Amino acid sequence: MITLLFFLSSGLFLGWSLGANDAANIFGTAVGSRMVKFRQAALIGSIFVILGAVIQGAGANATLGKLGSVSTLAAAFTVALSAAATVYWMTRLKLPVSTSQAIVGAIIGWNLYTNNQTDLHTLTKIVTTWISGPILGGIFAALLYLLTKKILKRVRFHLFYRDLSIRLGLIIIGGFGAYSLGANNIANVMGVFTTSVQFPAIHIGFITLSSTQQLFAIGGVAIAIGIITYSKRVMETVGNTLMPLTSEAALVVVLSQALVLFIFSSQSLSNALTSIGLPPIPLVPVSSSQIVIGSIIGIGLLKGGKQIKYKVLGQISLGWIATPVIAGIVAFFMLFFIHNVFKQEVGFKTITQSKQATHQTVSDSLTHAEKVTSFPKKRVVQTEQNPSVQSSFSYGWMMGLILVVVLMGVVYYFLLREKKQNAFGKEKVEELENYIALKEKSLEQEMERYQEEQQNVDKELKYRQNEMVNMAMNIIRKYEIVGQIKDDINRIKKEIHDGEARQALNKVILKINQNLLLDRDRESFQMHLEEHNSNFMHRLSEAYPGMTENEKRLATLLRMNLSSKEIASILNISPKSVEMNRYRLRKKLQIPPKENLTQFIRKF
């Protein structure tokens, strides 16, 4: 059981990634636009995907079986793993990829490795369907869009009721889409295991589940787990990659996608067409993402085609070629590895009885489930590789072809990498240039701001300095006037002989002297002086620690470019004292005789 689970794990992983990615094609817009809650979408999607896989999964699986019936469990594991690895690798490289195309490529890789013949007719049918799927999706979408538009024009729905019906439509059509996805794509997930894994049939009341149906149920559960665990992230990140969609247009896209998936997996419909003389529908697993793209382009063309991003079309075409080729190469080498290193049986050349066996009718119903899974039985006989007898391709031919394909793959990979690197480099250079330009601009702006600030500070400083000089000049003027008044009183005093009057004048002179000594203006000026030149005074103290407070004050006044006479007035000392103090200051500052004291201080 554990071995079986191990071998099934690659298929289950493929199923998980299918659920994680492709559920967004069905419920992406509904959940993204908050019309349907994710929990609701995940529940409906999970149930219907399993139902679709079990009830209607056999049709598309039969076609894959015709392309190559992978006969051993190890080979089936390797083929599914190769497809899963290709899908994972291409998704990481952000290249368009489809599980359907990857599995087909991997089966062809198996055919080539095991020397089994690839049914070219089936291959042509599959490739044709890949192309016709998106085209059909586009046609359906355009017709349904026209129809919806007409209905909405005729029916006078209130906007709120319209919203409600769209919401209902998204749920119902989402369920149908999930059913069709399960029916069409389960072959990609579990198809390769149907020959090598056989379970006994299970009977539940009237329902009988064949071995294939049980396998498909397991695969359906893997898809459901993918939907529940990871699809929310995909639904939220996948935006309107091709063109913006309204809720109504999204409904049309999901419906046309579901219809195409249903058509390419419904045996009953195919039988009905055959019964009226029309050709049967090829039951082939197709890419739901590519049908969605086809549908959106269909609507876009109907609207004039202006909003379509045509680049995506080129990417799809590239995916048609690149995915199967890469998956085929990966499968070929992995099979080589599994066969030669792990010595596992990978199902070399089978002698089939299929030429005699006619392809049995495959039905959609549960009651015909056994019929559905009864592919042409094959007798698996391992033989020595003898290409000249049993293969339509000669061994040399095949190796040459593989070599060419490998070379093509390698060249494609390197071209793509170089293109990516170039694009990345260009993007980086542009980013860097933009960054530098922005940085330059911001530096320039900062510089301008700094200069402006500097100018403001200079202005402020100049203003303050002027203020102080004015203050100083006021004090000086006041001192001079008061000094003159004092002189005048002294002169008058000399001329007066009256004792009382002289005494009164002495009192006035005393008052003046006292007032001059306790001059508040001077005090406040000195306070301002110290405050505004605190940095300068601090620098002086650091450079010449022995300087007294009076010397520092004198230096500050000299820095303001005041003359000795003016300084004398401010400090209320005689000019001679100022000269003496200047001399002492010179000595303390150790200024050479040729240098001017004031200039030295101003530079300091």
Partner 1 sequence: MSILFKNVKELVLEVDEFLSTVEQGVLIFKQGVYNYLDKEEETFFENIKNIERLEAVADKLQRKIDRELYLHSILPQHASDIEEMIDKVDEIIDVAKESIYEFDVEIPFIPDVLINDYKRLVDASVEAAAAVFPAVTTFFREPTKVKGMLTKVYFYEKESDKLSRNIKRKLFHDMDELKLSQKIHLRYFALHIETISDKAELLADFLSINALKFNL
Contact positions toward partner 1, by CB under 8 A? Answer: 33-35, 145, 148-149, 152-153, 156-161, 163-164, 167-168, 246-249
- Closest contact distance (angstroms) between CB of 302 and partner 1 is 11
Between CA 78 and CA 348 the distance in angstroms is: 14
When the beta carbons of 43 and 482 are compared against partner 1, the nearer one is 43
When the beta carbons of 148 and 360 are compared against partner 1, the nearer one is 148
Q: Is 276 helix (H, G, I), strand (E, B) or coil?
A: coil
* Identity of the amino acid at 292: V
* Integer-rounded Cα radius of gyration of the chain: 48
When the beta carbons of 175 and 282 are compared against partner 1, the nearer one is 175
Between CA 190 and CA 197 the distance in angstroms is: 10
- Closest contact distance (angstroms) between CB of 156 and partner 1 is 5
Which residues pair with residue 351 across a beta bridge?
Answer: 379
- Closest contact distance (angstroms) between CB of 163 and partner 1 is 5
* Identity of the amino acid at 43: L
When the beta carbons of 164 and 485 are compared against partner 1, the nearer one is 164
When the beta carbons of 84 and 235 are compared against partner 1, the nearer one is 235
When the beta carbons of 163 and 433 are compared against partner 1, the nearer one is 163
Between CA 182 and CA 49 the distance in angstroms is: 4
- Closest contact distance (angstroms) between CB of 415 and partner 1 is 41
- Closest contact distance (angstroms) between CB of 151 and partner 1 is 10
The crossing angle, in degrees rounded to 10, of helices 120-154 and 288-302 is 40
- Closest contact distance (angstroms) between CB of 248 and partner 1 is 5
- Closest contact distance (angstroms) between CB of 42 and partner 1 is 17
Q: Please give the biggest Cα pair distance in the chain.
A: 162
Nearest to 558 by CA among 544, 572, 579, 538: 579
Task: Retrieve residue 53's tokens.
Answer: 């896989």
Task: Tell the residue number behind the tokens 């709120």, with chain if given.
Answer: 160
When the beta carbons of 62 and 251 are compared against partner 1, the nearer one is 251
When the beta carbons of 236 and 433 are compared against partner 1, the nearer one is 236
When the beta carbons of 297 and 369 are compared against partner 1, the nearer one is 297
Nearest to 214 by CA among 235, 231, 197: 197
Other C-beta atoms closer than 10 Å to the C-beta of 127 total 16
Which residues pair with residue 209 across a beta bridge?
Answer: 202
Contacts for 597 with CB less than 8 Å, ≥ 6 apart = 558, 582, 585, 586, 589, 591
- Closest contact distance (angstroms) between CB of 189 and partner 1 is 32
* Identity of the amino acid at 484: Q
DSSP state of 285: -
Between CA 79 and CA 335 the distance in angstroms is: 8
- Closest contact distance (angstroms) between CB of 124 and partner 1 is 39
Backbone angles phi, psi at 73, to 5 degrees: -65, -40
